[in-house]
Amino acid sequence: MLKRIRPYLSVGLLVVVLVIAAIYLSHHVYLLTDLSHTPLLIGISLILLYVLLLIVLTFKFSITLKICSLRLPNQENIKLNANTLLINFFIPGQGGPIYNGVYLKSRHKLKVKHFISSMLIYYIIYALLSVGCLLVSSRPWWQTILAVLTLGLVSLWLSRRYMKKSHINKQSLNLHVASLSWLTLATVLQIVVQTVIYAIELRSVNKTISLSQIITYTGAANLAMFVALTPGAIGIRESFLLFTEKLNHISSNNILVASLLDRSVYLVFLGIIGLITLIFQLYKRISTKSTNPVIKAAAK
């Protein structure tokens, strides 16, 4: 039964997300208005960087699943990450990981607790790197190291407690040095791409903003993800950035304008991947019907 309705569920989910996107856009027309005043080269550069970010996230996700001894075809991996970006932006509470867990459980029989464990490892690495970015250019070096070490020890304790409480055998996960190193490298690449994106946005607003300020800004923006209760962390990320203004020394006006530019371009990017994914799903469904012998016989 599930196999029969799965194609309809996939298409239905995309349609729902696109409808939500259209409603969201109708209430936030100023995003496209602001985008119309942005130089075309900057807009195209940012969209291409978001495409690169999607590729990096796909690479990161494949390594995360490798920890669970699961390998997805590249096409399925990209589609899953594209859906995750759409869900995270338009649905409150960063629902992408939940969608991934349900999908992998139903489609590939991956235990949810194993998926959560692998994602926890990624989130720990992401949080440690983001805290480092936040503090490395704005605080003394010993405070940065102390903060990273403290967060690392607390995260390690919480993850071990979760694994023990969930009765997860460490041997069931590929927690090897190679896997963790590749995951760390993928996470570093993700943050580097994000830093370049924020650099273009901030420098388009104020050319005097330095690299150290941009790195601090990136750390604050990334940490906002962990409390992203609103769709796309709208308002949450901006609040984090304004709250850390004394660390990044970027004016509130520059932060708000750069954030508005980011929302506008990202919305266009999500619209593009949403439409591409929807067209692909419809084409796949039509192709399946045309090659199904039962449907061919009924048509005759």
pLDDT recorded at residue 190: 97
Place of tokens 């919480």: 158
Residue 90 is which amino acid? F
What are 52-110's pLDDT values in tens digits? 999 999 999 999 999 999 999 998 999 899 988 888 887 766 678 888 999 999 999 99
pLDDT at residue 293 is higher than 80? no
> Widest CA span of the chain, in angstroms?
77
What are 206-265's pLDDT values in tens digits? 899 999 999 999 999 998 888 765 555 566 787 778 888 888 888 888 888 888 889 888
For 16-25, what is the mean pLDDT? 61
Which pTM does this prediction carry?
0.82
Burial class (CB in 10 A: 0-12, 13-18, 19+), 224: buried
